[in-house]
Amino acid sequence: MKKRCETNGTDRREFLQTSARFAASAMLLGLGGVRSLAAASTDTAASSIPSVTLNNGVRMPRLGFGTMTLKGDPGSVADAIALGYRLIDTAMIYNSEEAVGEGIRRSGIRREKLFITSKLWKTDMGYEQAKKGFQTSLDKLNTDYLDLYLIHRPSGGDWKGSWKAMEDLYHAGRIKALGMSNADFDQMNYLIANSEVKPAVHQIETHAFFQEDRQYEYLKQHGIQMEAWAPLAEGRNGLFTNSTLAAIGKKYGKNNAQVSLRWHYQRGIVAIPRSQQHGHRMENLNIFDFALSDADMAAIAPLNLHKTQFPEWS
């Protein structure tokens, strides 16, 4: 039996190859510091981000780029793609879909190399409205399909009708995978029991201070990929200066953001950190050349406060 070096099925050889490829491209990026070098190495860096196979066979990068608040900032999106991010997370309500579309255009990367997620907002619930909302997102993104489409907040309205519309769009090849965001257990149970197309992903708030262990076990049990929004808790509760994360990071020459993202990765959770800073975007990608030990993982577990850090959105 091959020796496993981490929890999510990556064997040691694959891990070392990934690390070596990433270290080479990170060095190139770091030394060059100019866009042409970044562009030259972009495929190498991208291939260093492992992917996961969803329950319908679609492959999804295990680390992506969040775009909430990046309205009007296509430069950040283009730079993220140049650095090697391939999963870009947006939503109608962020008002960032046009910036994402423009960032993709500027990046020069072929559409099929990217994994684009958007989300249906509360005001577009119901079968007909969902189809309209979807088309508006496509138009803003300047694309003709989405890799992943989520119901953003199924809190009221005919979200079941929306799901039906999404299923039809899925069958028509306009959406490659369907998912939920911020759903409760009843809603997930309903879809698992009744839908034609099962949810492939559930995107929820998850970080060191809100570890969502129940959802974690539930999603694993049902073969649904967990995806973390606010994987860095937006820095709330002092995440970037937390002494436990800092002590762990010191051993590997990594900062608290990198330890946090590595922690998600080793739990098998897809994370989509956002940053408006080139340096942070690079740091957040540079998590594949070290591994947290079992003791490190155990030290992070008690940071769980078992409650949202975003009560204003509950």
Question: With helix as H, strand as E and coil as C, how does 146-198 read?
Answer: ECEEEECCCCCCCHHHHHHHHHHHHHCCCECCEEEECCCHHHHHHHHHHCCCC
Instruction: Please report how close the Cβ of residue 119 comes to ligand NAP at its closest, in angstroms.
Output: 6
- Do 147 and 114 meet the contact criterion of CB atoms below 8 Å apart? yes
Q: Is 276 in the site for ligand NAP (CB under 6 A)?
A: yes
Dist. CA 74–CA 67, nearest whole Å: 10
Nearest residue (CB) to ligand NAP, 124 versus 283? 283
**Which range of residues in 48-56, 136-144, 230-238, 290-298 is near ligand NAP by CB under 6 A?**
230-238
Site residues (CB under 6 A) for ligand NAP, limited to 175-204: 181-182, 203
Selection from 64, 103, 49, 91 nearest residue 275 by Cα? 64
Clarify whether 94 is annotated catalytic: yes
Q: Which of 240, 252, 299, 304 is close enough to bind ligand NAP by CB under 6 A?
A: 240
**Which range of residues in 61-69, 161-169, 193-201, 296-304 is near ligand NAP by CB under 6 A?**
61-69
Q: Is 274 in the site for ligand NAP (CB under 6 A)?
A: yes
Q: Which of 149, 209, 229, 263 is close enough to bind ligand NAP by CB under 6 A?
A: 229
Instruction: Give residue number: closest CB to ligand NAP.
Output: 66
- Do 202 and 219 meet the contact criterion of CB atoms below 8 Å apart? yes
Q: Which of 81, 174, 273, 286 is close enough to bind ligand NAP by CB under 6 A?
A: 273
Strands 115-120 and 87-89: parallel
Q: Which residues sit opposite 120 in a β-bridge?
A: 151
Residue 308, Cα to own-chain centre: how many angstroms?
18
Q: Is 67 in the site for ligand NAP (CB under 6 A)?
A: yes
Q: Is 121 in the site for ligand NAP (CB under 6 A)?
A: no
Site residues (CB under 6 A) for ligand NAP, limited to 141-170: 152
- Do 230 and 309 meet the contact criterion of CB atoms below 8 Å apart? yes
Residue appearing with tokens 């090697």: 84
**Which range of residues in 55-63, 154-162, 227-235, 241-249 is near ligand NAP by CB under 6 A?**
227-235
Buried b (16+ CB within 10 A) or exposed e, 16-36: eebbebbeebbebbeeeeeee
The DSSP letter of residue 228 is E
Active site residue ranges:
94
- The contact set with ligand NAP (CB under 6 A) reads 66-68, 89, 152, 181-182, 203, 229-235, 240, 257, 272-277, 280, 283-284
